Amino acid sequence: MPSLRSVKFNGLLNWYVMARLSDAFLDDLLARTDIVEVIGARVEIKRAGREYSGRCPFHDERSPSFTVSPTKQFYHCFGCGAHGTAIKFLMEYDRMEFLDAIEELAKRAGIEVPHDAVRRDSSEDSQPLYAALDAATRFFAEQLHTSSSARAYLDRRGVDEATRERFAIGYAPDGWEGLKNALGGDAQRMAVLDRVGLLSKNDAGRVYDKFRARLMFPIHDRRGRVIAFGGRVLEKEDGPKYLNSPETSLFHKGRELYGLWQVRQAHSKIPQLVVVEGYMDVVSLFQYGVDTAVATLGTATTPDHAELLFRNAPDVHFCFDGDRAGRDAAWKAVESILPRMRDGRQAFFLFLPDGEDPDSIVRKEGATGFEQRIRGAMPLYEFYFNERRAGLNLATATGRGAFADRCKPDLDKVPDGGFRNQLFARLTDTVGDKLWLRKTLGASTSASGTRASATPKRSLVRSAIVLLLQQPALALQLQTPFRFAALRQPGIALLVELLQLVVQRPDIGTGSLVEYFAGRDEHAALQKLAMQSLPGDASTLLAEFTDAIAQLDRQTLAQRIGELQLRQRDPGLNDAEKDELRALLSSRR
């Protein structure tokens, strides 16, 4: 029988083939895909004018705010902000991987998925790293079976065999080179083990196992691949309670949640998430039937954590110790989630009695008792205001003013919507004077709590972008280079980038055009502009677009003439510039 090492590392350092898909193929695939048919097979949507509408499948809502546009190949929820193309919908709704979604749509469209094979040295890719971590997971699992002390510990904590397997719990043996000897063997394999954080080196240059005499909890990514480990001591005096893998190219602790993979396997639609602090808390909650628990990885809740939590569930319950450290951790979570509290999202805070943690509570009270505590958790706004008014005398004008001042920076961060209005209403109840409060918060806040904004002036650049998003092929009517690219106005660079993208990818649709900017500051604005519905047919849109571009060209001409005329006085123009000015003046006439 082959050894563990030979099975898991067989071919690890060989060459392999990776498939790449061109943008042209993806644009063509989406152009051939009926996004209404794809989404309509999974979500109830009805025609509403040119588009389709229904209740959003990504958050709970009573009235429809989910829109699907067949002409733009794009879906958007005005409630939670979910949006994208048919590819993204399958990835989010059916939890498909990217290539699986591509193959599903290609099959529906009756086209083949091309594989442009690019040979790559696997030592430069992540595949060997995943293989090494998978091998380590199996090694630790084998060691658990041979360690009576580790098994006895899990027995005392009530962790049964099914739960151990569900979380792939293992054990790192009490020795300096157990893993190193089992999975190393040559310099290349040792280098891979080092890159994934499984080895350490002392000042003398000796290389040894990073994890020793610890229960091992594999940390999975959203595809179920092991990307890191958390190690827990069996006895308190044996060093730090928890030891995590260091940051690697695969693992960034501020972006991952322990247990999320298991939660996603347990639910097709996650009803809520319960955020706890430790690995054993997650494992014990699952053991007793609370299968929606996740944990941050030894770090405070980050903005990436907050977005990941709400992307998977509409309701998030944070469960912390009731001491000062627990309250501080809760406040860190508040700071991360406030800017992400869009409509449809809710957050709650549960503080446990002294000396208790989720593990001990669920073992005493069972799932029913723990879930009852969760149902009684404090809403976000309540915890927020309790913290913000601490130490203030709200019976005095000075205290109320200080309270409003404390809240103002946070209110500015919260997106417009029901939650922001709720915060403003609570503030008004506490302060007792809406007009005074609005003055204190600034003119940007209306009487209802929403941001008051003047009607934006019509901008030629904005108009051109909106028209282009409605019908990307309009860009193909222009000749390059674009004269207005030199115009110094807000939005010109974005308009030029959009036009160049369409020229490079003539079949690109609205959905793909917007998704190209995912992760960039412009993305949210482009989403909103893309969902606008403009009157008129294709010829009307073309006329409006070419007129807007012509006006931008004229503004560019005027801008250059002004520059040259200014320089004409001091320090003067050279012959080429004089000729240019005469030509521009003639052109303008």
Contact 144, 164 (CB under 8 A): yes
- Beta strands (DSSP E) in 457-521 are none
DSSP 8-state secondary structure symbol assigned to residue 516:
T
What is the rounded CA–CA span in Å between residue 332 and residue 346?
17
Q: Express each pLDDT in 6-36 by its tens digit.
A: 333 333 333 223 346 788 888 889 989 999 9
pLDDT band at 339 (very low <50, low <70, confident <90, very high): confident
Q: What is the pLDDT of residue 519?
A: 77
pLDDT band at 588 (very low <50, low <70, confident <90, very high): low
End-to-end Cα, the chain, rounded Å: 88
Which fold, 460-588? DNAb Helicase; Chain A (1.10.860)
Collapsing DSSP to helix, strand or coil, 503 comes out as helix
Q: What residue segments make up the domains of the chain, in order of their start? A: 22-114, 124-251, 260-385, 389-441, 460-588
Angle between the N-to-C axes of helices 492-504 and 460-470, in degrees from 0 to 180, rounded to the nearest 10? 20
Contact 279, 270 (CB under 8 A): no
Q: In what order do the strands lie in the sheet with 170-172?
A: 170-172, 214-220, 226-233, 242-244
CATH class of 260-385: alpha beta
Contact 211, 188 (CB under 8 A): no
Q: What is the pLDDT of residue 120?
A: 37
DSSP H helical ranges for 213-321 = 260-266, 279-287, 303-312
Tokens of 231: 């190690």
Tokens of 560: 């250059």
Q: What torsion, rounded to 10 degrees, do the Cα atoms 189, 193, 195, 200 define?
A: -120
State the CB neighbour count (10 A cutoff) for residue 419.
21
> Smallest Cα–Cα separation from 513: which of 527, 492, 533, 532?
527
pLDDT band at 445 (very low <50, low <70, confident <90, very high): low
Q: What torsion, rounded to 10 degrees, do the Cα atoms 106, 112, 113, 118 define?
A: -170
What is the rounded CA–CA span in Å between residue 276 and residue 317?
9
Tokens of 181: 């000897």
Q: In what order do the strands lie in the sheet with 378-379?
A: 293-295, 273-276, 315-321, 346-352, 378-379
**Taking residues 492-504, what's their average pLDDT?**
91
Q: Is the pLDDT of residue 458 over 70?
A: no
Q: Express each pLDDT in 506-540 by its tens digit.
A: 888 888 888 888 878 788 888 888 888 777 778 88
Which residues are 207's β-sheet partners? 201
Cα–Cα distance list, 512 to 114, 164, 332, 497, 588 (Å):
19, 42, 35, 14, 38
What is the rounded CA–CA span in Å between residue 486 and residue 560?
9
What is the rounded CA–CA span in Å between residue 469 and residue 492?
15
What is the rounded CA–CA span in Å between residue 402 and residue 492?
43
**Taking residues 546-558, what's their average pLDDT?**
87
What is the rounded CA–CA span in Å between residue 383 and residue 378?
6
Would you say how long the chain is, in residues? 589
What is the rounded CA–CA span in Å between residue 358 and residue 352?
8
**Taking residues 354-382, what's their average pLDDT?**
93
What is the rounded CA–CA span in Å between residue 338 and residue 155?
41
Contact 450, 444 (CB under 8 A): no
What is the rounded CA–CA span in Å between residue 52 and residue 64?
10
Q: What is the pLDDT of residue 25?
A: 86
Q: Is the pLDDT of residue 224 over 50?
A: yes
Q: What is the pLDDT of residue 132?
A: 94
State residue 256 phi and psi, 5-degree precision.
Answer: -120, 155
> Smallest Cα–Cα separation from 173: which of 247, 234, 243?
234
What is the rounded CA–CA span in Å between residue 523 and residue 530?
10
Q: What is the CATH number of domain 124-251?
A: 3.90.980.10
What is the rounded CA–CA span in Å between residue 32 and residue 109?
6
**Taking residues 402-426, what's their average pLDDT?**
84
Collapsing DSSP to helix, strand or coil, 545 comes out as helix
Cα–Cα distance list, 5 to 8, 173, 227, 359, 558 (Å):
5, 17, 19, 36, 72
The proportion of the chain whose per-residue pLDDT surpasses 90, expressed as a percent, equals: 38
pLDDT band at 576 (very low <50, low <70, confident <90, very high): confident
Q: What is the pLDDT of residue 436?
A: 65
Q: Is the pLDDT of residue 207 over 70?
A: yes
Q: What is the CATH number of domain 22-114?
A: 3.90.580.10
Q: Is the pLDDT of residue 370 over 90?
A: yes
Tokens of 30: 């989406």
Using only C-alpha atoms, the chain has a radius of gyration, in whole angstroms, of 29
- The amino acid occupying position 493 is A
What is the rounded CA–CA span in Å between residue 513 and residue 516?
5
Collapsing DSSP to helix, strand or coil, 553 comes out as helix
What is the rounded CA–CA span in Å between residue 103 and residue 112?
8
What is the rounded CA–CA span in Å between residue 479 and residue 21?
29
